[in-house]
Amino acid sequence: MQWAQGTIKMHCSKMQNHHHWLTITFILICCHLETNAQSFELLSQANQVYDEHEWERAFDLYTEITADNPFNGEYWHRLGLIQKQQHDYRKSIESLKNAIACGSHLAESYYTIGINYSLLGDSARALIHLRQAIRHGLSNREERLLNDTDLDRLRGLDSFKKLIPPDTSKTTSRIAQWHEDIQFLKNQVELTHYRLPDFYPQKKWDEDFKNLTSQIAELKDYEIIVALMGLMHQIGVGHSYVMPPSSGKHQFHQIPIELYDFRDGIFIKQTLPKYRALVGKKVISINGISIEKILEEASTVAIAENKIMKRRSSLLYATLHEVLMTFGLAADSNTSIIGYLDENGEERTLPVKHQLFSPDTFLNRKTMEGWVSMDNTLNPPLFLSRLEKKYWFTYVSDPQIVYCQINEIGNEKEQSLKEFGENLIRFIETNEVKALILDLRFNLGGSGRLNKDFLTSIIKSEKINKHGKLFTVIGNMTFSAAILLSTQLDQYTETVFIGEPSGGRPSHVGDDNEISLPHSGLKAYASKSFWQSPVPYDERNWIAPELFMQPSSKEWKQGIDPCLDNVIEIINKNNQVKP
């Protein structure tokens, strides 16, 4: 009995202790919740006064916030900008270095630190941080470096002058102007490109630019431009290139045709009305030289993301007269002779007069204004019917599929990409839908940061995110932000890819910096960011379709889409494709 009483007392004591700890735990949880609620309210207040430029109040709030949470670089970055506004430059530098340590707003943080050091009179440290800002992709860098009055103390320094375009008024000779342009391009690419030596060994890079500079006097202007195109081509990155000049004193000339690579050869897809006879004809030569020889030479200066994009851009560069003259493939004339096969398979030739170059045939999805095209039919097929829209979808009642074309990763005024994705899935969930076709074959990219909003809708749909119910059409124009979306679809959904290999790599260097050469006006681009595929060590050169479908010229002329037809056949046969 005494043992039992002792046991009861012991259990009662344990229960009292347990109750005591439960009480303490409950109080701590309540305090924690209360603290989090206060922090969230504090953050909302801080954001509001920051947006309203109430710097003193914002300073107090962000000082408290960073003390409570020193791990969020966004808060340090804002505190640093506030301190700069308050002319407390040294404290601003400390806060912005904390932002950098968190990996937040690197370019802007380095830039503002550079400004702070400039205002403090420390030119050496200012220049170090300005270079770091540029290396991390500082936006609008030339405009800001040229016009920001906070940097006025640096403008007389030679090391600062290397960051901005040279003063063109002091250089009058042709050779000296080209020398300055070439050196400026070299310096800017070295400064802004993502890990340039990994793509173009420094020793070879230096030697190649030195060799070009030594030949300026012997080369014509257009030959120098094509040589620069070739140097940038050797980087091997699709967003790093010299644009063939489409304006200014060095504007190139173009054979007014668009070449397209069909399953049965190279054909003329569109041209001016006076050359209507060439539309839909197979090209065999230009100026008596085989089209494949022309493309082989053009490919050495074309956009070099992978062999798919190189082939596509070579089709454009093969029509540029200055490129052809540089490689000895054309005479100095205003006309090129196009060799083609007529309806009976007989070889014919037609002289075509050049026009000033425009990149629209490469960048536009639609037929050029005023041109005639293989696309122009009274009843265009779905994939050609609404190329002017960024995205759209329609229902094909037989066999109950939704066809959705996304031609650009961007927002329409009437409907954001996120809203479009939500509406698309809402339609699928409330209707009899057996499959969804996403068509990205004409999508050259846009803003990759918008992909998530659309992708989330697809992932969440249990009805359509199944193997054999989701298909994605890709092709040689699927590039940049569109290749990111394709890669994400590949990783996070059950899609089946159909069509042609993509024009972009799943893991690639993008986000090009524009570089304007001061004398010639040439536009060059240097990629600043590495976009990693969701899959580690994804070294694919393109996304390959499970179902390879390259259209023939005959199918295109007849408005037949082998990709859509193949999916319809699969659905009708109820035959799921095996992974």
Each of the 579 residues of the chain gets a pLDDT tens digit; together they read 333 334 333 344 434 444 444 443 333 334 444 444 447 889 999 999 999 999 999 999 999 999 999 999 999 999 999 999 999 999 999 999 999 999 999 999 999 999 999 999 999 999 999 999 998 989 889 899 999 999 999 999 999 998 999 888 888 899 999 999 999 999 999 999 999 999 999 999 999 999 999 999 999 999 999 999 999 999 999 999 999 999 999 999 999 999 999 999 999 999 999 999 999 999 999 999 999 999 999 999 999 999 999 999 999 999 999 999 999 999 999 999 999 999 999 999 999 999 999 998 888 888 999 999 998 876 889 999 999 999 999 999 988 999 999 999 999 999 999 999 999 999 999 999 999 999 999 999 999 889 998 999 999 999 999 999 999 999 999 999 999 999 999 999 999 999 999 999 999 998 888 999 999 999 999 998 888 888 778 899 999 999 999 999 999 999 999 999 999 999 988 645 455
Contacts of 573 by beta carbon, 8 Å cutoff, 6+ apart: none
**464 burial via Cβ count (<10 Å: 0-12, 13-18, 19+):** buried
Q: CB of 573 within 8 A of CB of 399?
A: no
**Residue 82, both tokens:** 């506030």
Residue among 225, 239, 131 nearest 185 (CA): 225
Tokens in use for 252? 């190139």
Residue 554 has what pLDDT?
A: 95
Rounded to 10°, the helix 123-135/106-119 angle is: 160
Q: What are phi and psi of 11, to 5 degrees?
A: -65, -40
Residues 6+ apart with CB under 8 A from 244: 225, 229, 252, 317, 320, 322, 323, 357, 359
Name the nearest CA neighbour of 391 among 406, 409, 381, 403.
Answer: 406
Return the pLDDT at 510.
87
> In this structure, are residues 237 and 526 in contact, taking their beta carbons and an 8 Å threshold?
no
Q: What is the pLDDT of residue 15?
A: 40
pLDDT at 25: 37
Element containing residue 439 per DSSP (H, E): strand 435-439
Query: Are the CB atoms for 279 and 377 separated by under 8 Å?
Result: no
- 324: Cβ–Cβ under 8 A, 6 or more apart, which residues? 286, 287, 294, 318, 330, 336
Q: What is the pLDDT of residue 253?
A: 98
Sign of CA dihedral 330, 331, 332, 338: negative
Q: Alpha helices, DSSP H only, in 241-397?
A: 291-298, 307-317, 321-326, 360-363, 382-385
Q: Which residue has the tokens 């440290």?
A: 125
What are the b/e assignments for 179-193, b being 16+ CB within 10 Å?
A: ebbbebbbebbbbbb
Output the pLDDT for position 17: 46
Distance CA 394, CA 71 (A): 47
E strand or H helix at 75: helix 73-85
Q: Is-contact 507 538, C-beta < 8 A?
A: yes
Question: Residue 538's pLDDT is what?
Answer: 87
405 pairs with which residues across the strands? 392, 439
The number of C-alpha atoms within 13 Å of 553 and in the hemisphere containing its C-beta is 20
Distance CA 436, CA 389 (A): 19
Put the strands of the sheet holding 496-499 in their side by side order.
391-396, 401-406, 435-439, 470-474, 496-499, 547-548
Is residue 429 within 8 Å of residue 565, measured between CB atoms? Answer: no
Q: What is the pLDDT of residue 531?
A: 86
∠ CA(377), CA(383), CA(388), 5° rounding? 80
Q: What local confidence, expressed as pLDDT, does residue 119 receive? A: 97
Q: What is residue 378's predicted lDDT score, i.e. its pLDDT?
A: 66
Token pair in block for residue 319: 């029509």
Sheet holding 241-242, edge to edge: 241-242, 523-531, 508-516
Closest residue by Cα to residue 564 from 377, 426, 405:
405
Strand segments (E) across 233-330: 241-242, 253-254, 257-262, 265-271, 282-286, 289-290
Q: Say if residues 321 and 225 touch (Cβ distance below 8 Å).
A: no
